[in-house]
Structure 1
């Protein structure tokens, strides 16, 4: 699966890809924006964009604490309406990224499998959090793209695979999200990554094996 990065200003329906969006809150409600919000600016409202994401998996990157219940209520409402109109099926599949640990623990008591847990070469794999939240995905960052060594990267991925439940799916962060010049690393990475991972990228055409 390819997840298209930062689809905050989307104006067309997405097909064949997942999406990653950023959520914040202001007096308008839940809005789509990565950076801190400014006053007197109208941001895209989540409720006005949500229909573009139907039938594709959505990664909701939570940029402020305690937004998850608001997102859950919106999805529950629209999924309920879809069920009533269609007789079931065709709803929204969504997950949370970068939620704070207290929020993950609180919400996972009521709803399982919604949280993507972050890991990297400098962030410890939190087995207990994965277990309690019943995570489906791991979000895999890497800190050494500026000094990239393919053998070190391959060892990182291999060690990660050896230490996780094989039911967990990896979402690899494509290097051009850190710096456009790192796009040249993608061919090397594809040689050492397994085919059953997902990719978050701005350049899906460069990840042809994973589309």
Structure 2
């Protein structure tokens, strides 16, 4: 009987120790530095010290975490789902699906080489990681591009389990408030196309993906 009580006491001590670690971790997360931001179409908070960058285009906002070499680009448009069809055709992986604050997000992953003087760098050590988060509402879509420019500073993975997503993306998505805009920019205009021309491009992509494209 005494041995059984000792086992129970030991288990309780272990549980208390584990809970202590969880609460300590939560306290650290709650006290972590964050940078709130607000645009006409989206508001929330980034992890760490993040500075706003100058942009000349409407409905586009850019922010930079200089310590970790992370760039956050935010934008809105009428049809972000169509934009992601183009990106998937170009090779981005995904989507993974997540929901935060009532917003459904499609999470895509990719890697790219930096462009220097209009030329893609051939140095594989300079590869960048990219995570794209997209949420399409009834009449407006929202996109968050996160570019990890120095993979020696962040453990980047092509999934939602690595540090890049868990430590930098998910905390932001949990804070985002998506605002409804007036005169939302049309995606076809951003590509310099008419709506009909853009729709034709999307149809060609869908045919190619289904194997029905004929010459």
The normalised TM-score by structure 1 is 0.24
The normalised TM-score by structure 2 is 0.24
